[in-house]
Amino acid sequence: MYDADGGLRGEASYVIGKLLGRRHCSLCDITHSPVRRRPEWDAMVARLGLSLRLAHLNELTAVEREVVDEVDAPVVLVLGEGRPRPLLRRDELESAGGDLGRFETLLTEALAGLR
Protein backbone atom coordinates (compact mmCIF):
# COMPACT_ATOMS: atom_id res chain seq x y z
CA MET A 1 0.00 0.00 0.00
CA TYR A 2 1.65 3.18 -1.21
CA ASP A 3 1.84 6.37 0.83
CA ALA A 4 0.24 8.31 -2.02
CA ASP A 5 -3.09 8.66 -3.78
CA GLY A 6 -3.61 7.22 -7.24
CA GLY A 7 -5.11 8.85 -10.29
CA LEU A 8 -3.88 11.83 -12.23
CA ARG A 9 -4.33 14.31 -9.38
CA GLY A 10 -2.83 11.99 -6.74
CA GLU A 11 0.15 11.04 -8.88
CA ALA A 12 0.83 14.67 -9.83
CA SER A 13 0.58 15.76 -6.20
CA TYR A 14 3.06 13.08 -5.16
CA VAL A 15 5.56 13.89 -7.92
CA ILE A 16 5.47 17.62 -7.14
CA GLY A 17 5.79 16.92 -3.41
CA LYS A 18 8.71 14.57 -4.03
CA LEU A 19 10.49 17.13 -6.22
CA LEU A 20 10.01 19.75 -3.49
CA GLY A 21 11.27 17.35 -0.81
CA ARG A 22 7.91 17.24 0.99
CA ARG A 23 6.72 13.75 0.03
CA HIS A 24 8.38 10.38 0.13
CA CYS A 25 7.12 6.82 -0.28
CA SER A 26 9.71 4.08 0.15
CA LEU A 27 7.48 1.53 -1.59
CA CYS A 28 7.22 3.86 -4.59
CA ASP A 29 11.03 3.99 -4.67
CA ILE A 30 11.15 0.19 -4.75
CA THR A 31 8.51 -0.40 -7.42
CA HIS A 32 9.01 2.58 -9.72
CA SER A 33 11.69 4.36 -11.68
CA PRO A 34 11.24 8.11 -12.00
CA VAL A 35 8.76 7.63 -14.85
CA ARG A 36 7.14 4.19 -14.63
CA ARG A 37 6.92 0.88 -12.82
CA ARG A 38 10.20 -1.00 -12.96
CA PRO A 39 10.28 -4.05 -15.24
CA GLU A 40 12.49 -5.66 -12.57
CA TRP A 41 9.55 -5.39 -10.15
CA ASP A 42 7.29 -7.28 -12.55
CA ALA A 43 10.01 -9.91 -13.08
CA MET A 44 10.42 -10.38 -9.31
CA VAL A 45 6.67 -10.81 -8.81
CA ALA A 46 6.54 -13.40 -11.63
CA ARG A 47 9.62 -15.22 -10.32
CA LEU A 48 8.23 -15.47 -6.79
CA GLY A 49 4.83 -16.57 -8.05
CA LEU A 50 3.01 -14.27 -5.67
CA SER A 51 -0.29 -12.53 -6.05
CA LEU A 52 0.61 -8.92 -5.25
CA ARG A 53 -1.68 -5.93 -5.56
CA LEU A 54 -0.19 -2.47 -5.46
CA ALA A 55 -2.72 0.05 -4.14
CA HIS A 56 -2.77 3.76 -3.45
CA LEU A 57 -4.37 5.27 -0.35
CA ASN A 58 -7.52 6.25 -2.24
CA GLU A 59 -7.89 2.72 -3.63
CA LEU A 60 -8.01 0.81 -0.33
CA THR A 61 -10.96 -1.16 0.95
CA ALA A 62 -12.47 0.00 4.24
CA VAL A 63 -10.75 -2.82 6.16
CA GLU A 64 -7.38 -2.15 4.49
CA ARG A 65 -7.81 1.55 5.33
CA GLU A 66 -8.33 0.72 9.02
CA VAL A 67 -5.12 -1.30 9.14
CA VAL A 68 -3.12 1.32 7.22
CA ASP A 69 -4.42 4.03 9.57
CA GLU A 70 -3.14 1.98 12.52
CA VAL A 71 0.34 1.19 11.18
CA ASP A 72 0.95 4.04 8.68
CA ALA A 73 1.75 3.79 4.99
CA PRO A 74 3.61 2.58 3.10
CA VAL A 75 3.03 -0.99 4.21
CA VAL A 76 2.85 -4.48 2.74
CA LEU A 77 -0.23 -6.28 3.99
CA VAL A 78 -1.01 -9.98 3.98
CA LEU A 79 -4.52 -10.41 2.68
CA GLY A 80 -6.22 -13.68 3.43
CA GLU A 81 -8.76 -15.00 5.81
CA GLY A 82 -9.81 -12.45 8.36
CA ARG A 83 -8.36 -9.00 8.76
CA PRO A 84 -5.32 -7.93 6.69
CA ARG A 85 -2.07 -8.02 8.66
CA PRO A 86 1.08 -5.95 8.24
CA LEU A 87 3.92 -7.99 6.76
CA LEU A 88 6.45 -5.20 6.09
CA ARG A 89 6.03 -1.84 7.78
CA ARG A 90 7.29 1.62 6.91
CA ASP A 91 10.64 1.26 8.72
CA GLU A 92 11.39 -2.06 7.00
CA LEU A 93 10.53 -0.61 3.60
CA GLU A 94 12.73 2.41 4.37
CA SER A 95 15.60 0.04 5.24
CA ALA A 96 15.50 -1.31 1.67
CA GLY A 97 16.60 2.13 0.45
CA GLY A 98 14.78 1.70 -2.86
CA ASP A 99 16.77 -1.48 -3.60
CA LEU A 100 14.57 -4.17 -5.13
CA GLY A 101 16.95 -6.98 -4.16
CA ARG A 102 16.89 -5.90 -0.53
CA PHE A 103 13.10 -5.67 -0.65
CA GLU A 104 12.89 -9.19 -2.10
CA THR A 105 15.02 -10.49 0.77
CA LEU A 106 12.85 -8.72 3.35
CA LEU A 107 9.70 -10.02 1.68
CA THR A 108 10.81 -13.65 1.41
CA GLU A 109 12.08 -13.66 5.00
CA ALA A 110 8.81 -12.20 6.26
CA LEU A 111 6.77 -14.69 4.24
CA ALA A 112 8.88 -17.58 5.56
CA GLY A 113 8.05 -16.39 9.08
CA LEU A 114 4.35 -16.89 8.33
CA ARG A 115 4.76 -20.59 7.66
pLDDT, tens digit (0-9, with 9 covering 90-100), for 70-81:
999 999 999 877
% of the chain exceeding 90 in pLDDT: 72
Nearest of 99, 102, 87, 95 to residue 1 by alpha carbon: 87
Average pLDDT value for residue range 33-42: 91
Q: Which residue has the higher pLDDT, 62 or 34?
A: 62
Residue 25 phi, psi (nearest 5): -135, 110
**Is there a contact between 9 and 56 (Cβ–Cβ < 8 Å)?**
no
Work out the end-to-end distance of the chain between its first and last CA atoms, rounded to an integer number of angstroms.
Answer: 22
Average pLDDT value for residue range 78-95: 93
Statement: residue 115 has pLDDT above 80: no
